[in-house]
Structure 1
Amino acid sequence: MLRAAQSGTPRPAGGTAVTKTTATDRRRRPLVALLTAQYLSAFGNAITIVTVPLYVLHTTGSTTTTGLAGFLGALPLIFAGAVGGVLVDRFGGRRLSVLSDLSAGVLVVLIPLLDATTGLPIPLLFALLFTRTVVATPATAARMTLLKPVIEDAGARLESVNSWYQAAPRLGLVVGAPLAGLLIAASGSAVGMYVDAATFLVAAALVAFAVPVAEPRKRGGGAAAGPGFFGQLREGMALVRTMPVIGAMTAFVVVTNFLDDAFTPLFLPVYAQEVLDSSAALGWFLGAVGVGAIVGTLLYGPASRTFLSNRRYTLFGCFAVVAVLRMMLYFEPGAIGVTVICFLVGVAGGPLNPMLSTVMLERVPEELRGRVFGLTGAMALTSAPLGVLSAGLLVDLAGLRVPMLCFSLVYLVLIAVSWRWPSLRAMDERPGADDGRDQPAVPEQGPATAPDTDPETRSGEGAGVR
């Protein structure tokens, strides 16, 4: 009894468990902060999609000016991602994410402030919208480079977190766009611009204060300086060419983006107007696609443990289901039938982005992630406008039903052609379990010579990230 009294106050029986819980929560805080910043950014982008056209139309009263503003706001997406990815690798993902969001927030808030005070000439408005996209785009690649380290620190599964991360743009559009419309109707478009700016600033603060610094590793122990800006850009291009699995996914997704981006902005509006004679039906179609995509994206996390564990079969299976569902539109089902089809198309396509992003995070070396994600994201946009343009020309020449059927059949042809690609089989090989062919050394003096692989593996887009 005496010795027990001298030993001091006994520790609570649950002390160890409480300590472990606290430590676990502390490790997960950066991941929660990064996911929150991603969702805020997605919500802000949805507000931008709704607010900017209405703001320009209200300010100028010109549909031509509104269209030009939209064009200039989207134009930098083609090159800003690739350039921003190099900057991410040079200066660090955390720094670029914070700087990008802060700059974009300031530029957005300047639009209503200048309009309400000194006035906002149209050329200056165009310059602000153009520059806003330039500075905001690198944040996407920057946050992707931060994702894997915080997932590992939190002890979470890459597939599960990627499903939540990739759901952000879809959820932001489905929830944020209607809320933005209500906000503008109640308070005016200027208020929407202020809310948009606030989402940027809060996202920057979350990454700055809650996500730890994780600068990319320096090659050669930091003894030698790395290549310059264009040398680093060439390194990113070389990796896409020389790593077969990345090249194959890139080629595959570039083709499917060509087909996908004709569906929502062209086929569905024309179908609603010409077949159903109902513009209101388009809202139901788009909402169904968005909700279905959210469901499919979030389901990938748990499903990746079971029936979606084989990534190659998931890639082919999802696109095959999408193709068959879209082919059903040839038979012109009613509004309810099309709405159900749109929902199922969204569900079937939902797992693709998180799955492909997971493969890239596993395969791409840490010091190249920024430029590879930025480069492939920019390349993804090159085929989309061509798809819309081609579909529009075909509809004018042959009507609606035949082009819809043809675009759907191309999915099945693509699956048949790529079924035997050995490169795509590597999607299911975890790093360290293969012979190293998909883990090339980072080139020191410029791009490496591309290996003699199938032509299909040497072109295209990356990871389906839009």
Structure 2
Amino acid sequence: MLALPYFVLVTTDSPMKTGLVALFEMLPLVLLKVLGGPIIDRVGPRRVSISCDLGSMVVVGAIPLLYAAGLLPFGVFLALVACAGALRGPGDAAKSSIVPSVVEAAEVPMERATGLHATVERSATLLGAVFAGGLIALIGAANALVVDAVSFGVSAAILGWATTSLRRPAADETEAGADPTPYLAQLRQGWDFLRGDRVLVAIALMVALTNLLDVAYASVLVPVWAREWGGGPAVMGVLFGVFGGTAALGAICAATWAAGLPRYKTYLIAFLVCGSPRFFVLAWDNPLWLVLLVAAVSGFGSGFINPMLGAVIYERIPKHLVGRVSSLTAALCFALMPLGGLLGGGLVSGFGLTVAMLACGAAYFLVTMLPAADPKWREMDHRPAVSPSREDAEPAPVTG
């Protein structure tokens, strides 16, 4: 999140090239999320996730090695970034597909599981961002990527150890391998289910637009702000770290109390707090304490979003379609992310940082508050009596 864009920015001094790197990472990521769903359902999310982590270790590790050897022209760098994105797409989708099995095994409310999942993710953002910002400042972005590569190998080892009990029985694997349904038909089954659920489609489209703006924010706008006004990569790491830390706190609160909260109202309040304010505060050269205060409040609000939306998504997908439908849903959520870097780079290059921040902040407010005018979103508050994580689950009924 920090090392790649800052590496490009300091070596090329080009916001547009920085945005181009985000495009080359996110485009194959989205494509492979779509195409990997049937494979996840057939092979199993555990195997896919571990394999993708090991592949990512090799690809990401090649970037600093080739750079040190003087063998990393920009075209080769973009190719490696594209490979990293292609591995991350199905790898991330596979990790998400494990969640319903964990919930079923642990017999806990879905919000508790998604809340704890978000807590771990946000905590990693807190620790990783602070560590990365300091590491980049100390040893440089290229050397920091070596640490990043090693972390993929550690991830594969931990996941392999921690999920051994979730391996599918041999009978299930044989049955899955003998499934006569062609690959394209399996892909179509996932798409047919997704497009028939308006709530899932609405969530995916909203998240796609916010992700577009978030990528512009993280990959271009914040690095440019840090270089011009914010004090470099160390302060950038602190900014992301404060946001991630309070987001982890919010996710812990969500894991504890979200099962009893109205999802629709919580969604609106959380996005109102965590969306546009963090763009607006960076539009001008505000004091650092104010920037970090807004980041803290925004992060806390954001901690409630993923547990809420994640619970809604998982509850509405039957177990035998989790890989396909969750991959397609995630792919829709990620669909505009390849353009986020180009959007941020184009706005900064054409209009300056202040206008870019204000424009993105205003767009974020409109996108996240439009659901307030659509009563269909109130179906988020429906909690099925029987969890669809069971083998014989049906899609959650649609009300209203």
Q: Give the TM-score of the pair, scaled to structure 2.
A: 0.76
Cα distance, 1:244 vs structure 2:
3.4
Larger CA Rg, structure 1 vs 2: 1
Shift of 1:352: 0.7
Q: C-alpha distance in 2, partners of 1:332/1:115? A: 36
Which of 278, 292, 308 does residue 229 from structure 2 map onto? 278
Match of 1:179 among 122, 131, 134: 131
User: 1:26-175, aligned counterparts within 5 Å?
Assistant: 46=1, 49-50=2-3, 54=7, 62-63=12-13, 67=18, 71-112=23-64, 120-122=71-73, 124-175=76-127
2: CA distance, partners of 1:156 / 1:208: 23
The worse-fitting range, judged by mean Cα deviation, of 197-206 and 346-355 is 197-206
SS at match of 2:386: coil
Q: Which residue of 2 aligns with 1:410?
A: 366
Shift of 1:142: 1.0
Give the superposition deviation at 1:148: 2.2
Counterparts in 2 of 1:137 and 1:415: CA distance versus 1, 3 Å? closer
Mapped partners of 2:177, 2:223: distance in 1:
58
C-alpha change, 1:394 and 1:347, in structure 2 (3 Å) is: farther
User: Structure 1 pair 197/409, CA: closer, same or farther in 2 (3 Å)?
Assistant: closer
Q: Does 1:200 align with 2:169?
A: no
- CA deviation string 1:35-57 (max 9, x = no partner): xxxxxxxxxxx5xx416853x78
Decide which of 373, 378, 386 is 1:432's aligned counterpart. Answer: 386
Deviation of 1:353 after TM superposition, in Å, equals 0.8
The 1:222/1:192 distance shift into structure 2, 3 A limit, reads closer
CA apart distance, 1:414: 0.3
Taking the aligned partners of 1:325 and 1:82, their CA distance within structure 2 comes to: 33
Which of the numbers 362, 370, 376 marks the counterpart of 2:315?
362
Q: Does 1:294 align with 2:248?
A: yes
Task: State the AA in 1 paired with 2:324.
Answer: R
The answer to whether residue 328 in structure 2 is matched with residue 375 in structure 1 is yes
Structure 1's 96 and 186: CA in aligned 2 closer, same or farther, altered over 3 A?
same
CA distance in 2 between partners of 1:158 and 1:92 (Å): 21
Residue ranges of structure 1 left out of the alignment (5+ in a row): 1-45, 442-450, 455-466
Structure 1 Cα separation of the partners of residues 244 and 85 of structure 2:
23
1:287 Cα deviation after fit: 4.3
Q: Deviations over 1:28-79 (max 9, x none)?
A: xxxxxxxxxxxxxxxxxx5xx416853x789xx5456974555433432221
Measure the CA separation in 1 of the matches of 2:21 and 2:140: 19
Conserved? CA contact 1:326–1:404, under 8 Å? no
Does the CA-based 8 Å contact 1:159-1:355 persist in structure 2? yes
Partner Cα separation in structure 2 for residue 183 and residue 378 of structure 1: 32
**CA deviation string 1:286-345 (max 9, x = no partner):** 444333322222221112144xx2212222232234468569859989534443223212
Match for residue 245 of structure 1? 199
Q: Kindly provide the CA deviation profile for residues 347-388 of structure 1, in whole angstroms up to 9, marking residues without a partner as x.
A: 112211122112222221222212222222222223346677
Structure 1 residue 241: Cα displacement: 0.8
Whether the 8 Å CA contact 1:311–1:355 is kept in 2: the answer is: yes
Contact 1:81 1:138 in 2 (8 A): yes
Conserved 8 A contact 2:276-2:362: no
Q: Distance in 2 between matches of 1:266 and 1:324?
A: 16
Q: 1:100, CA displacement in angstroms?
A: 1.1
Q: Which amino acid is the alignment partner of residue 201 of structure 2?
A: G
Partner Cα separation in structure 1 for residue 126 and residue 326 of structure 2: 25
SS for the counterpart of 2:335 is helix
Q: Deviations over 1:192-226 (max 9, x none)?
A: 3443232222222233343131379979x779734
Instruction: Report the counterpart of residue 225 of structure 1 in structure 2.
Output: 179
Secondary structure of residue in 1 paired with 2:229: coil
Relative to structure 2, which stretch is displaced further, 408-417 or 182-191? 182-191
Distance 1:187 1:345, change over 3 A: closer
Aligned pair partner of 1:348 in 301, 307, 321: 301
Q: Distance in 2 between matches of 1:223 and 1:116?
A: 44
Q: CA deviation at 1:137?
A: 2.4
Q: 2:351 aligns with which of 384, 387, 396?
A: 396
- Call closer, same or farther: CA 1:415–1:394 in 2, change over 3 Å: farther
The structure-2 alpha-carbon separation of the partners of 1:217 and 1:304, relative to structure 1 and needing over 3 Å to count, comes to farther
Q: CA deviation at 1:433?
A: 8.7
Q: 1:375 to 1:264 in 2, by over 3 A?
A: same
| DSSP 3-state at the match of 1:304 | helix
Q: Tell me if the contact between 2:210 and 2:364 (Cα under 8 Å) persists in the aligned partners.
A: no
Q: Which structure's residues are more often helix, by fraction?
A: 2
Contact 2:38–2:187 (8 Å) recurs in 1: yes
Find the aligned partners of 1:395 and 1:127 in 2 and give their Cα distance.
Answer: 27
Letter in 1 for 2:230: S
Distance 1:266 1:344 in 2: 22
1:265 Cα offset (Å): 5.8
Work out whether residues 51 and 180 of structure 1, in 8 Å CA contact, stay in contact via their aligned partners in 2.
no
In 2: Cα distance, 1:94 partner to 1:158 partner: 20
Residue 458 (structure 1) aligns with: none
Contact 1:362 1:431 in 2 (8 A): no
Distance 1:115 1:280 in 2: 26
Output the TM-score relative to the length of structure 1: 0.66
**Inter-CA distance 199–406: structure 2 relative to 1 (3 Å threshold):** closer
Q: Read off the aligned partner of 2:71 and give its amino acid letter.
A: L
